[in-house]
Structure 1
């Protein structure tokens, strides 16, 4: 099984701030070591989960400690009510055919 290094962040945001939050949320540059990223929104637009895939834990940690990431987090802060983060390792599961 191919192994992945994954960082997840789930944020609950203030009602009616999704557009402003999204502008602040997107990084200004491509983080070194990030392979790909996904975002998922709740139907009410008040919870956003980001899932990013990294070359290594170190690459993810380096981004999280960077000035660019601190600036991005500062820009998001006025819209965030709650935040949960987690670093995971794992891989894709194969699903049997029907």
Structure 2
């Protein structure tokens, strides 16, 4: 069974800041060890949850401590009111076919 390493961040944004936040949010360069990433936002555009899948916890930790990630967080900061994050590991659950 394949194990996944997942970093989840949820940010509450200032009203009307979603578009500017999205420009600041995209990493450059893309991190080594990042396999997939998804973004989900609330209907009002004031909460964004990012879910990223990593090759290993070490790859994620290396990115989180990197200069480009520090710069990315600084670019997002003017639009963020609150931030929560967590690192998880787990596996895909089988969904029965109907």
Q: TM-score, normalised by structure 1?
A: 0.98
Could you list the runs of 4 or more consecutive aligned residues of structure 1 that deviate by over 2 angstroms after TM superposition?
none
Number of matched pairs? 98
- Which structure 1 segments of 5+ residues have no match? none
Write out per-residue CA displacement over residues 63-96 of structure 1, whole angstroms, 9 at most, x where no aligned residue. 0000000000000001000000000000110011
Partner of 2:64: 64
Whole-Å separation in 1 of the counterparts to 2:81 and 2:92:
32
Q: What 5-or-longer segments of structure 2 have no aligned partner?
A: none
Task: Give me the whole-angstrom Cα distance separating, in 2, the residues matched to 1:71 and 1:57.
Answer: 21
**1:30 Cα offset (Å):** 1.1
* Cα distance in 1 for residues equivalent to 2:17 and 2:96: 41
Query: How many angstroms apart in 2 are the aligned matches of 1:74 and 1:30?
Result: 17
- Name the TM-score, length of structure 2 as normaliser: 0.98
The two structures, once aligned, show a CA RMSD in angstroms of 0.5
